[in-house]
Amino acid sequence: MEELVGLREGSSGNPVTLRELWSPCPRIRRGIRDGLEWLKQKLFREGEDWHLLMTLGVLMALVSYAMNFVIGRVVRAHKWLYREIGDSHLLRYLSWTVYPVALVSFSSGFSQSITPFSGGSGIPELKTILSGVILEDYLDIKNFGAKVVGLTCTLASGSTVFLGKVGPFVHLSVMIAAYLSRVRTKAVRESENRSKQKEMLVAAAAVGVATVFAAPFSGVLFSIEVMSSHYTVWDYWWSFFAATCGAFMFRLLAVFNSEQETITSLFKTSFRVDVPFDLPEIFFFVVLGAICGILSCAYLFCQRTFLHFIRTNRFTSKLLATSKPVYSTLVTLVLASITYPPGVGRFMASRLSMKEHLDSLFDNNSWALISWNSTPPWPAEPDSQNLWFEWYHPQFTIFGTLAFFLVMKFWMLILATTIPIPAGYFMPIFIFGAAIGRLLGEALSVAFPKGILAGGVTYPIIPGGYALAGAAAFSGAVTHTISTAILAFELTGQIVHALPVLMAVLAANAIAQSCQPSFYDGTIIVKKLPYLPWIRGRSINSHCVTVEHFMSCAITTLAKDTLLEEVVKVVTSTEVAKYPLVESKESQILVGIVRRDQLVQALQAEPPSWAPERQQCLQDILAGACPVEPVTLQLSPETSLHQAHSLFQLMNLQSLFVTSQGRAVGFVSWVELKKAISNVTNPPAPK
Amino acid sequence: MEELVGLREGSSGNPVTLRELWSPCPRIRRGIRDGLEWLKQKLFREGEDWHLLMTLGVLMALVSYAMNFVIGRVVRAHKWLYREIGDSHLLRYLSWTVYPVALVSFSSGFSQSITPFSGGSGIPELKTILSGVILEDYLDIKNFGAKVVGLTCTLASGSTVFLGKVGPFVHLSVMIAAYLSRVRTKAVRESENRSKQKEMLVAAAAVGVATVFAAPFSGVLFSIEVMSSHYTVWDYWWSFFAATCGAFMFRLLAVFNSEQETITSLFKTSFRVDVPFDLPEIFFFVVLGAICGILSCAYLFCQRTFLHFIRTNRFTSKLLATSKPVYSTLVTLVLASITYPPGVGRFMASRLSMKEHLDSLFDNNSWALISWNSTPPWPAEPDSQNLWFEWYHPQFTIFGTLAFFLVMKFWMLILATTIPIPAGYFMPIFIFGAAIGRLLGEALSVAFPKGILAGGVTYPIIPGGYALAGAAAFSGAVTHTISTAILAFELTGQIVHALPVLMAVLAANAIAQSCQPSFYDGTIIVKKLPYLPWIRGRSINSHCVTVEHFMSCAITTLAKDTLLEEVVKVVTSTEVAKYPLVESKESQILVGIVRRDQLVQALQAEPPSWAPERQQCLQDILAGACPVEPVTLQLSPETSLHQAHSLFQLMNLQSLFVTSQGRAVGFVSWVELKKAISNVTNPPAPK
């Protein structure tokens, strides 16, 4: 078309395009075109990639929904099989156990055969990635399929294995985000790419949570609390946008598939709104928080110890190293045998799915008070209208089953977390907390059967409210987050318990944070991933520590006038990734940084010319093959530990050189910082 | 007692204290004492001041509640006066107008006579303080009384002046926090104090919001979004703790005072829970968000322009400078005359208080559909059961009154923000947004009178849901925050509209943020407070800009070997606060920083000894009276604009020196950064 225009213009001198001659109202059309162009410029402004974030949200919602759909079908098939197989105990037992065992061993074998990174939740690794460490291949899109298939199998084995979805979903979401941002920024310079990519990854983590729970607020806040130590309000904005797109799409699909009338929350509750709780109940909510905090410490300690044991014990470590599916099979068989409903499973409501567990625990009524008067039956199948019948046992009563559930699930959960399959550990903890809260709530409803007197009307105590608070408090304590409170509200669609739940969460966190590292930090410690601890306690002496006290002075500088011979010697004798380049051997003034790999390349490319007349020195090869990186940030010996720590955390740094009056005098990396922080927090005993 | 012990020990050799002889079970007592000591150490660990934060929350809650109490009494007295004064129009008009005029002029006169800092909301100033600028005396506790009294008077004038409470409350809270942390840390070193103080101030801002709205979540998130550009998760934790204490105490007082049965939200709504909205309504929610975004841009533009006009116009600026109460009186008289209920006020529901405004706008029913069938009366006084009668006019209908309300309040609000009294501007904006939403909601309920068909049942459209979304979206757009959505849920105690409200807020923010600075940023710009803008657009060229391009090279270095004569010359001819100290004139190697004031002192203290044998140089006085501060952070010419920007924002810096290979070559402060950012965002036109 452009050529045609050119032709016409050339022949007549009056620039009219063919298209203009053909179509009416050229001005209006041009106006519209300009308007569209303006809109396009405004929307697709360089550097703002809301469309990528939207794509990410929609994609993850589709994946999440499709996964739920498949899982639902597989679980239904399992239920059908278990129901139809007849009354023979052996057959029933086999149909109950073989299904999850097969699924989990397949999940373990399949995902591990494709990539070793697909196991676990992935959040600890993402935390270290977001703090600036580069874990090669961990975000490779190739692992996506393995993790999706593995996770689907894990979740399809249902409440037997009792594992969740959040962690792997965050990992999946971040994988897609990394892929999308890599595709987009082929042409863009690296420095921009890095900052943009971080933005994308932070938002992706929020999307991961939001598309599992259809909860954009808690998605954003939870991912911030778990992943980052610092965040920028700008990232927060984009995270909200992406998470909302994801959550909306996820719920939209449910409406389109006629599962829901309209967009609602996942675990809708119907707590009384008028007087949901009385003022003195606040005390019990805080007590519940404290109990959850103490139990979470016990859980975290046992979990970390057991994980460490599994990794160091000769037998299990060998089994895990060579034949992961065998280990998975064994563990799943144990778990499935215990949950076999006509056996021990009868006492722990094992016929309920995880969603049904939550639905029943958040139930409005007091089971204890109802079962006081009439004995509910144990139906042949869980009654969807009265899910709580599963929790009732004539001899044990509901207190027995709830307590038994807590005791058994405590170690079963710890055992389940060691299975090398893609699985999330948040949801089981959430349900465990709900059971704690329910137990206390039921006890209170029995202790105070007259309930609350307000305005002349008596209202019974709602144990479901305690279950809600317990879920938020226990999961908050285990993960060291507060946003689980908002998650509880978003999941149930009710916010009437706002203050008591928040207070329970705060109480639980106060205890857990002062005694144990979080679930994710604990995993980081056991897996020995690099991470930077907080400066806790903030005692006075931490402010006296400066870089001078902890920097590593053992640096090998390369002077511009170093002879190539010596450079070769230095390069072969040391193993660092970067060398500080100094002006001359005497002055030691830092002028730049030379990367070891590039230096080695340059040295190899350089023809050896050991001519006696003039020996080549480092400066001669710097101009060519080996570029000098500028020093953009540097520390001084007087920089305080706090400043250095903030700098590393905020700018996602790996290492920095220390200069004093321009001279390179030392070097600080994570290792030095970590040591300094641990010295400040736990001062070494004086000898 | 210790002496007595010593005496006994000396005489018998067996160390038994008198107390031990007197009291039974010394071991148990000692055990208890040790336990208490351990608990005390654990709780009052050095550097963790949860007790200060709790005190802060409780104090602010008390202040907030007491203020509400007094305001309630004053407003009731005004209502009584207006009711009892008889039917004479003149008397009624006088009783309506004189009251607010007197209150506002007193508020203006009283608070301004004590301190000029007490006017306005205070949030813009706090924002600059939290970003590292030191505004002298702004947080002085002496201003507390002035602001409290002034704010009480402002709020007592009710919906006539139509101003809120949040901003000043944040300021009050931060004042107390600054006072508390100053009292605590008399002994602690400065560096720790600074970081701890920031923690306290951030938490205090959250407490301010939380104690006004009894909303801890949105208190924390709103204060983060408004105040900070970066946030540490550690601060977030403490903010939640303090905000929860404040919000709990605030609501507890209401229960103790028998205003409430139990702890509930402030503006409790009773929206339908089953099917609160249909899927297609999401579209209208987003449209509402877009409308709110556009209107917020208009509001922000007009507000900023008018404020600028008031400050530059010869007449008004003179009036404001010399006699603020006169200006306040005039403006309040205009506002009160317009809201006179038998006059124009009839068409804008001016008899309702601000709380009643919100309560009525969040009403469950569709006014349009009800008034279709029956004409509600205009009662002699607002009917607390049917507050919406105030919004109905037989000729105008509710659409007319709502539209009139919006048009009038638009400029009245802008006018009210110029009155120099302590006042918050968030609540009026929130109500304004609710009215926008209500108007759209009512229109929809008329357009679709058949409502929503779901599961065979028809549900009417809830205009109150639109009012909620409108309030969140408009206030979010004006303040550039998203957490107003959570605020809307916490205020109403219902979260059923989670997704639509969030989508409306995002849509409104997308428009407002891309067109106008926020309300607080706009005030910062008009008041010419120092602040650092974001690097917007993030275009590619912003990543090529390095410190070299924008640093100020005009630095005056002082060499150690400079003669005192020359030093005096330099000090008298320049006006900077800090001088870079370099090793020698030739090398220009930066070794430290000398403060001007200390240098001047040292020079004055030095006896003039212009002896010919040896001239004194700078080095001689450095050891004594004038200390050299170490350089803890420095920039390189190669540091990118983005890095420098992050560094300034994250570490709350004022200025940094630039060194190249150790030599001091330049200087970067906010001024240079701001200029560089504005050049990147709006590149200067090529000449």
**CB burial string A238-272: b at 16+ within 10 A, e below:** bbbbbbbbbbbbbbbbbeeeeebbbbbbbbbbebb
Higher pLDDT, B8 or B310: B310
Which residues from chain B sit within 8 angstroms of residue A494, using beta carbons? 494-495
* Residue A152 pLDDT level (bands cut at 50, 70, 90): very high
Dump pLDDT digits (tens) for B279-302: 889 999 999 999 999 999 999 999
Q: Quick check: A236 and B244 CB within 8 A?
A: no
Could B234 and A229 be called an inter-chain contact, meaning their C-beta atoms sit closer than 8 Å?
yes
| A589:B661 CB<8 A | yes
Supply the pLDDT for residue B462. Answer: 92
* Interface touch A534/B255, C-beta < 8 Å: no
Measure in Å the smallest separation between the Cα of A169 and chain B Cα atoms. Answer: 21
Rounded distance between C-alpha atoms, residue A461 and residue A469, angstroms? 14
Residue of B502, B586, B593 to mutate for A, most A C-beta atoms under 10 A: B502
Residue A620, pLDDT score: 74
List of chain B residues whose C-beta atoms are within 8 Å of the C-beta of residue A42: 514
Question: Is the model more confident about B115 or about B478?
Answer: B478
Residue A541 binned pLDDT confidence (cut-offs 50, 70, 90): low
Q: Which residue of A has its CA nearest to B42?
A: A514
Residues from chain A contacting residue B490 (CB–CB below 8 Å):
495, 498
Tell me if B234 and A231 make a contact (CB, 8 A cut-off).
Answer: no
Question: CB atoms < 10 A from the CB of B36, how many?
Answer: 10
Percent of chain B with pLDDT over 70: 90
Q: What is the DSSP string of B459-480?
A: E---HHHHHHHHHHHHHHHHHT
Dump pLDDT digits (tens) for B176-228: 998 888 877 655 555 556 667 788 888 999 999 999 999 999 999 998 888 88
Residue in B232, B255, B513 nearest the CB of A230: B232
Look at residue B613 in the predicted model and tell me its pLDDT.
54
Residue A646 confidence class, pLDDT cut points 50, 70, 90: confident
Length of chain B: 687
Does residue B372 register a pLDDT over 90? no
SS (H, E, C) A455-518: CCEEECCCHHHHHHHHHHHHHHHHHCCCCHHHHHHHHHCECCCHHHHHHHHHHHHHHHHHHCCC
Mean pLDDT of A457-477: 93
pLDDT at A123: 92
Contact A639 B632 (CB under 8 A): yes
B252 interaction partners in chain A (CB closer than 8 Å): 279
Q: Across the interface, do A233 and B229 touch by the CB < 8 Å criterion? A: yes
How many Å apart are CA A290 and CA A292, to the nearest integer?
5
Nearest to B650 among A264, A634, A646 (CB): A646
Provide the pLDDT confidence category of residue B141 given band limits of 50, 70 and 90.
confident
Identity at A590, one-letter amino acid code: L
A-B interface: how many C-beta pairs under 8 angstroms?
250
- Cβ contacts (< 8 Å) between B539 and chain A: which residues? 46-47
Q: Which residues in chain A are closer than 8 Å to B275, comparing Cβ atoms?
A: 261-262
How far B635 CA sits from the closest chain A CA (Å)?
A: 6
Contacts of B578-582 spanning 24+ positions with Cβ under 8 A: B578/B629, B578/B655, B580/B555, B580/B657, B580/B664, B580/B667, B581/B557, B581/B618, B581/B622, B581/B628, B582/B557, B582/B558, B582/B663, B582/B664
Is the Cβ pair A248, B282 closer than 8 Å? yes
DSSP-assigned letters across all residues of B388-436? GGGG--TTTHHHHHHHHHHHHHHHHHHHHTTS-SB-BSHHHHHHHHHHH
- B668 φ/ψ angles, rounded to the nearest 5 degrees: -125, 130
CA distance B460 to chain A (A): 14
Tell if the CB–CB gap between A498 and B265 is shorter than 8 Å.
yes
B225·A233 Cβ contact <8 A:
yes
User: How far is B36 from chain A, CA to nearest CA, in Å?
Assistant: 17
Q: Are B633 and A643 an interchain contact pair (Cβ–Cβ within 8 Å)? A: yes
Q: Which residue has the higher pLDDT, B430 or B536?
A: B430
- Is pLDDT larger for residue B246 or for residue A372? B246
Which of B265, B502, B638 is the closest to A216 by Cβ? Answer: B502
User: Are B498 and A265 inside 8 Å of each other by CB?
Assistant: yes
The tens digit of pLDDT for each residue in A268-327 reads 888 888 888 888 899 999 999 999 999 999 999 999 999 999 989 999 889 888 888 899
Residues of B with Cβ-Cβ distance to A46 under 8 angstroms: 537-540
Cα of A310 to nearest chain B Cα, Å: 32
| pLDDT tops 90 at residue A416 | yes
- Asked if A533 and A674 touch (Cβ cutoff 8 Å), the reply is yes
Given an 8 Å threshold on Cβ–Cβ distance, is B543 in contact with A191?
Answer: yes
Query: Domains of chain A (ranges plus CATH)?
Result: 2-43 (no CATH), 50-256 (1.10.3080.10), 540-681 (3.10.580.10)
* Cβ <8 Å between B282 and A263: yes
Contacts B234 to A, Cβ<8 Å = 229, 534
Q: What pLDDT score does A2 carry? A: 44
Chain A CB contacts of B241 under 8 Å are 506
Choose the closest CB to B248 out of A191, A503, A650.
Answer: A503
In tens, the pLDDT along A3-22 reads 444 444 444 445 555 555 55
CA distance B631 to chain A (A): 7
Distance from CA of B429 to the nearest CA of A (A): 21
With CB atoms and an 8 Å threshold, state whether B47 touches A196.
no
Using the 8-state DSSP alphabet, how is residue B654 labeled? S
C-alpha closest to that of A660 among A592, A587, A593: A587
> With b meaning 16 or more CB within 10 Å and e meaning fewer, what string describes B466-501?
bbbbbbbbbbbbbbbbbbbbbbbbbbbbbbbbbbbb
B457 neighbors B195 (Cβ within 8 angstroms): no
B543 and A47 in contact by Cβ < 8 A?
no
Chain A, nearest residue to B546 by Cα: A632
Amino acid identity of residue B491, one-letter, is L
What chain A residue is nearest to B196 in terms of C-alpha separation? A538
Per CB-CB distance under 8 Å, the chain A contacts of B48 are: 537-538
Residues of B whose CB is below 8 A from A244: 499, 502-503, 506
CA-nearest residue of chain B to A646? B651
List the structure tokens of A185: 């920024």
- Interface contact A248-B499, CB threshold 8 A: yes
Contact by Cβ (8 Å): B525, B491: no
Average pLDDT, chain B: 85
Please write the tens of the pLDDT for every residue from B604-633: 776 655 555 556 777 777 766 677 888 888
Cα A334 to Cα A97, A320, A338, A416, A598: the distances in Å are: 9, 17, 6, 10, 54
Residues in B touching A48 (Cβ below 8 Å): 537-538
Taking residue B620's Cβ as centre, other Cβ atoms within 10 Å add up to 14
Residue of B633, B641, B663, B682 for testing the chain A interface, max A β-carbons within 10 Å? B633
Partner residue opposite A634 with nearest CB, options B455, B493, B634: B634
Of A244, A540, A659, the CB nearest to B192: A540
B233/A232 touch (CB, cutoff 8 Å), yes or no: no
The distance of B11 to chain A (nearest Cα, Å) reads: 36
